[in-house]
């Protein structure tokens, strides 16, 4: 879905970064949503995009790593590839986790 939308917007150059960020955000939402609903929003912003993923968990993203270094790499990846990223809590529960991907960043 991300690749097709980027191509239709003439932003295929963002494909690798945007699909990796989307994958990380959706994977985390699935992990913490306990098989409940998740939502994905994807909007064009000039020469970039805004990716947002909502899940019903009130747990906020936290940098962490297990002893073998196999867990907790998602947030640093998103931060490295995004122009900006953050979390917006929602009522009565949940949060939107977002990242902006721009050309040349």
SS3 content of the chain, % helix, strand, coil (to 5): 35, 30, 40
pLDDT of residue 75: 86
Tell the burial category of 46 from Cβ atoms under 10 Å away from its Cβ (0-12, 13-18, 19+).
exposed
H-helix or E-strand containing 33? Answer: none
Q: How confident is the model over 23-51, as pLDDT tens digits?
A: 999 998 988 877 689 999 999 998 899 99
Poorest-pLDDT segment among 52-56, 63-67, 81-85, 91-95: 63-67
Query: Among residues 85, 86, 97, which one has the least CA distance to residue 57?
Result: 97
Q: How confident is the model at residue 91 (pLDDT cuts 50, 70, 90)?
A: very high
Structural domains in the chain?
A: 2-102 (3.30.565.10)
Half-sphere exposure of residue 101: CA atoms within 13 angstroms, side-chain side: 23
pLDDT of residue 67: 56
């Amino acid at each position: 879905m991300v690749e097709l939308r980027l191509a239709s917007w003439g932003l295929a150059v963002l494909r690798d970064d945007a699909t990796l960020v989307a994958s990380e955000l959706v994977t985390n939402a699935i992990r913490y949503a306990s098989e409940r609903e998740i939502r994905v929003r994807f909007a064009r912003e000039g020469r970039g995009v805004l990716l947002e993923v909502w899940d019903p968990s009130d747990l906020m993203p936290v940098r962490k790593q297990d002893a073998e270094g196999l867990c907790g790499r998602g947030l640093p990846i998103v931060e490295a590839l995004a122009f900006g990223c953050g979390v917006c809590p929602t009522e009565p529960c949940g949060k939107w986790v977002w990242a902006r991907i721009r050309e040349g960043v």
